[in-house]
A and B are shown apart, each in its own frame.
Chain A
Amino acid sequence: MDDQAVGTLSRAFNMDVFLRVKSLLAAQFGEAVVVGEEVAGLQPALIISGEWLPQVCLFLRDHEATYFDFLSCISAVDNGPAAETFTVVYHLASIPHQHQLTLKVMIQNDRRLDNLPVVPSVSSVWRTADWHEREAFDLMGIYFEGHPDLRRILLPDDWHGYPLRKDYEEAETYHGIPIK
């Protein structure tokens, strides 16, 4: 990379990268791995089948045409009580190629607190996913299978519930202290 390396956001997030990744994944894992795509917005996103996620991420990290070596962000999104789905969004960036990609995983879930939505952990691919996933577990209640240490991170260890869910109701008290 040189000083004058120029790139715009539109280039970083462009459709070429998106389409190339899509065909690479289809060639490597079969058509079933990409279950959908969102191309209407400013940043296209690939919807990946959850069970393939760690393999897909490892492939995208190490393949010479993609090299998504930097995981920018993992965001868990609650699609509302009516939808009964959660989305986990992965924003990947490539430092050598200077491009970006959005991956999404959709999970059906009945929102019961003893039945959390399950997504395979990608902390074996990017170590930074460790804290991202702990945060998503803590605030949204997504269970990341295979995570080495899935404890709460921002809230106290004995907190009940997952506050970023749309149907979260605050407790009246915490250790006998009124908090409402």
Chain B
Amino acid sequence: MTAAFVAPAALWLAVFLVLPFIAMLVFAFGRRAPEGGYLPAFTFEQFLNLPARATAFGNTLLLAPVGALLCLLVAYPVAYYLALRADPRHRLVLISLIVVPFWTSLLVRTYAWMYILGSRGLPSLLEAVGLPDIRMLNTPGAVLVGILYGYLPLMIMPIYVSLEKLDRRLLEASADLGARPVATFFGVTLPLSMPGVMTGTALVTILLLGEYLIPQLLGGGKVFFIGNALVDLFLQSRNWPFGSAIAVTLVLVVVVVLTVAMRIAWRFAGTRRVDLV
């Protein structure tokens, strides 16, 4: 009974997760065919060539957490307002409005940003007030704006959920005991919303590690994430073995980042629980 119920999912995991991963591993030890593609071999040369993509890995490992932190900085006040300050009658509408952007294609919305950041958008407004020739599109800044735009809702939601669950009597108690609002925030609210903060940050960081579209469209092919380097290896260089080695490495990076994030989250959760008791 149990076996029958889990069989379809198990089949799926086997054919579309495990098998592709094994294929990647096998390819990663192969060689590039003369016209591109894959030649069977057993060599470590693809992995030895990984430093050739050090910059892309570096960019990703820098911009993913930076992007996530940026999202966090903007998302926290919004989530805080929605959970604790907004008129309860409007709360549902306001929350829905955070989610609604997901219903328009991210590609189309990112294209809109290409226009806003291009010469005919914001830079032309700046020119009108006497700041000519400011370039925004195809810069790391543009990519960060795209990241903030694309991932902000994903950061707001978990923080909102954890703030919303917060027992308001704790805040009253803190105030009754003479704590200033700032002290209450740092002593009570922030620690109690930590699970949401951790979830959001980990989620956004991990999704960003594999980002392709935003750097591609707003970075002009210049700001390269490892996802872009990966696509490039399959679509331009036709170097399947090296691409496979990079894909395998990227998965390892994700696993490492996830493990570290979970360790941190666990420590936070652990100590805070002690504090509360």
The answer to whether A and B assemble together is no
User: A: which residues have CB within 8 A of B?
Assistant: none
